[in-house]
Structure 1
Amino acid sequence: MLFSDLPPDKEPLDWNTRMKIAAGAAKGLEYLHDKANPPVIYRDLKSSNILLDEGYHPKLSDFGLAKLGPVGDKTHVSTRVMGTYGYCAPEYAMTGQLTLKSDVYSFGVVFLELITGRKAIDNTRAPGEHNLVAWARPLFKDRRKFPKMADPLLQGRYPMRGLYQALAVAAMCLQEQAATRPLIGDVVTALTYLASQTYDPNAVNQSNRVGPSTPRNRDDRRGMADGLDSPDEHGRGGRNGSPSTYKNSPDYRKRDHVREFSTGAELGRSETGGSGRKWGLEDSDQQDTQRDSPVSTSRARETPRNRDLDRERAVAEAKVWGENWREKRRANAMGSFDGTNE
């Protein structure tokens, strides 16, 4: 079954399934980029090349345009421009220079299709909305508009924080400059975490309702922005078994230590060996407070550089959560092995 051609009699994909498909497709791409030797560039990643089985497990197909990636000191391979309009990375379409980051861009388009329910190119839509990425770019600039980007067929049944994180990952993958896009391994880490956070679509999600902020809501957002309480299925901070939010706890000190190094400084990586920037963290409560303040409205106007940093920081939260989730699973596995959890 093609991901792009689900039967009309099927129920719309719920949020959990969409994140599961995205994480699985990203893992397939990670295998080509990081496990294969030499690395393989897919070159034609699109929704119609993703097959789903009955359990909605994704499989990449049609490797007819796949190309061996750069090796040694080479940063790219030059080739005739091929692929599908709407999915091709801009630098590849203009110069014919193909890199692993070209695939990351294509994945960003596929992921955005999953989130929005729109096609990469849809000429049946209103003028200005034919191209999915062109339509989404202005909306990426203001996360207050993120709920408008969610697929209407979801009917609001998604965790609000999960939506923010998912759109942040998509936005980073769709950066126009290839060097600023994340590695597919970083994307897998973030999406594996998002896919692990099951959400009950039948539950009423109070946090998805639009309304004035309250001190309690801001406290919940602070916990999630710091990555100290993993959000539950309703988008709120975790309670049972989640890391402590007290400032004198080891969990808080660990996050604070990570935050000290998250300054947005350049990393010593090559174009094909890293995203070129450090992942950053930022307290979203401070952002929301500044945004709500009438005094700081003019001062809080976003610049392109600030928007890029905001997206990087949002992806960083998902990446940190994903890494912490993996560490917790490893610790539980070790505890079961040596009998400490019995």
Structure 2
Amino acid sequence: MDEALLRSLTPSVLGILVRRGADFTAAEDAVQDALVEAVRAWPADPPRDPKGWLVTVAWRRFLDATRADAARRRRESLVDEEPVPGPTPMVDDTLQLYFLCAHPSLTPSSAVALTLRAVGGLTTRQIARACLVPEATMAQRISRAKRTVAGVRFDRPGDVATVLRVLYLVFNEGYGGDVDLSAEAIRLTRQLAATIDHPEVAGLLALMLLHHARRAARTAPDGSLVPLAEQDRGRWDTGLIAEGVEILRAALARDRLGEFQAQAAIAALHADAPTAGETDWVQIVEWYDELTLLTDSPVVRLNRAVAVGEADGPRAGLAALAALDDSLPRYAAVSAYLHERDGDLVTAARRYAEAARRAENLAERDHLMRQAARLNARGCR
């Protein structure tokens, strides 16, 4: 059974049903039924036209459900419209599904779940395991999301920026269960890039590839975090880096700069440095200045303070940090790092311990606690 083929066909099959008149919720249920049937039937009798087979089975399941539901008798007129089996027209409805799953009425977590289900073709169990929540919780989340977008029609262009933010959320979910969501986000973003010609789509794809290229070096064999400056750059995936840089250059050449392109440019500068000491921090600060103009994000300003500390010295970084709200995530960790660079080990150790208490995951907490312990041990000598 070619699971990758099934997942790649899911959005177009779903889009065809929606275009024929099925509402999203009913169409998605019918497509899931067809996928289950494909897993059962295809190994013994693979179809010549997999997409056409899925469309035919899903449409029949939709019609069966329509006939059985008295509340949906208004759709009975669709019963006589079943198409003659044969090759399916090459119409790509994937982009419409992206916009639907990133509907502004959905919460970020619901948008992520619906994107993985409708566009990614994952099962509820796979999504639940990947997002580290109980399957029942994820089933309820997906059901609520489908009810929210039921009946939504696209009579105007969707918001590409919202779609990209949802895909970036998927990417940042990382890995859990039997689905690598970072890799899945890259797959979906490649799919979107093939559907729509937009420099920010290319920018996001480049950013994902450049970050993903460093994945193998981010953790030690014991699972502990390895900071960027200490990573073994020989473990970075040079193929992904080269692809990301090439995609980014083509996007930047269009002179329509957006936040994902700017973030990708920063990641490319890190990837281009043979060693941490050779990083072009001055240019990174310049890109953070561009990114600040684009987003005015406090998180961007926080990361800029780190870059300023590397380019102009830790006291310049601390001055940039002082202008920010100290309740920001990672503020204490950045403060600790800059104070350590400035030689104030007592303050740095205290701030590392404070950052550990605020950490959102176990690996980050353990890393920060080790930094605090290391500085405290040095202070006792």
TM-score by length of 2: 0.28
Larger radius of gyration: 2
Greater relative contact order structure (CA < 8 Å, 6+ sep): 1
Which structure: greater helix fraction? 2
TM-score by length of 1: 0.31
